[in-house]
């Protein structure tokens, strides 16, 4: 049963316990509830990325390796990066519905486009701030990269605008930053292992990562049961 929504200000003031093992276990449970949908969607995203790569390669066929990509190839790469933002949000949306014990359809994976603008703004602004952090002293960049882990879930599940989601995520996760660093490293290693069998393992580990972060969000922030997502 999904946890009731928590008072975010109270979480920021008083903190909260964490349990990485339970997040992974709960994430696996959510993944198993729609294993076919998650794997199928992950495969579809992989094919979309490959398609854009092939198109870019065809456009720049015959260009010397040291030459910069053509304007059209750069445009295709940009389009691929932009549409991947709402497409990847689809994993969160379906995992949220499963956590709330709501029925899902494959079309739910594409509902991230309903939040296109705040997701795009959050990605751009958080990316710039994180990059600046890395350029300055590296450590601020690592801090922000971890601290923004809940930005997309807050946009989708709490309907926050991009800046409110960024600040809320940063403040909440800062209370247990090292625990989330550990969670991030664990999921990185799991996805690294997924690359080994010709990358096919990513069809499992990639959606599992999203399900695990939804499990962490559910345990810490709780679910807004009035939300569509």
- Tens of pLDDT along 166-218? 999 999 999 999 999 999 999 999 999 999 877 889 999 999 999 999 999 99
Residue whose entry in the numeric block shows the structure tokens 């519905």: 97
Domain annotation covers residue 26: yes
Nearest to 165 by CA among 115, 225, 219, 100: 115
pLDDT at 67: 65
225: in domain: no
Q: Which domain holds residue 57?
A: 8-220
Within a domain: 104: yes
Per-residue pLDDT, 53? 87
* Cα gap 44→66, rounded to integer Å: 32
Q: For residue 86, how far is the Cα from the chain centroid?
A: 10
CA–CA dist 218, 158 (Å, integer): 12
Q: What pLDDT sits at residue 136?
A: 84
227 inside domain: no
Cα(145)–Cα(143) distance, integer angstroms:
6
Q: In this structure, is residue 19 part of a structural domain?
A: yes
pTM as predicted: 0.91
CA distance 142 to 148: 10
Question: Which of 224, 160, 200, 209 lies closest to 30, judged by CA?
Answer: 209
Structural domain count, the chain? 1
Residue 228 is assigned to a structural domain of this protein: no
Tell me if 126 is assigned to some domain: yes
For residue 43 the two structure tokens come to 């495969």
Q: Identify the pLDDT of residue 229.
A: 66
Query: Which pLDDT value is given to residue 66?
Result: 60
Distance of CA 144 to the CA centre of its chain: 15
Is residue 149 situated within a structural domain? yes
Write down the pLDDT at residue 227. 67
| Residue segments in the chain with a per-residue pLDDT below the cut of 50 | none
Q: Computed from CA positions of residues 168, 31, 193, 190, in that sequence, does the dihedral angle turn out positive or negative? A: positive
């Amino acid at each position: 049963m999904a946890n009731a929504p928590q008072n975010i200000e109270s979480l920021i003031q008083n903190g909260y316990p964490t349990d990485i093992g339970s997040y992974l276990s709960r994430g696996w449970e959510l993944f198993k509830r729609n294993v076919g949908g998650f794997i199928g969607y992950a495969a579809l995203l992989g094919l979309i990325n490959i398609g854009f790569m092939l198109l870019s390669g065809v456009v720049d066929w015959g260009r010397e390796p040291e030459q910069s990509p053509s304007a059209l190839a750069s445009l295709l790469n940009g389009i691929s990066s932009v549409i991947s933002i709402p497409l990847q949000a689809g994993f969160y949306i379906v995992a949220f519905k499963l956590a709330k014990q709501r029925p899902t359809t494959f079309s739910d994976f594409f509902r991230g486009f309903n939040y296109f603008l705040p997701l795009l703004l959050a990605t751009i602004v958080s990316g710039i701030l994180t990059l600046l952090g890395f350029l300055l002293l590296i450590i601020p960049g690592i801090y922000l990269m971890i601290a923004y882990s809940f930005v997309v879930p807050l946009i989708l599940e709490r309907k926050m605008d991009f800046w409110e989601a960024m600040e809320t995520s940063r403040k909440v996760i800062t209370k247990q930053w090292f625990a989330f660093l550990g969670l991030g490293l664990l999921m990185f290693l799991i996805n690294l292992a997924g690359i080994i069998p010709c990358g096919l393992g990513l069809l499992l580990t990639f959606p599992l990562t999203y399900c695990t972060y939804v499990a962490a969000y559910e345990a810490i922030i709780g679910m807004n049961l009035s939300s569509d997502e």
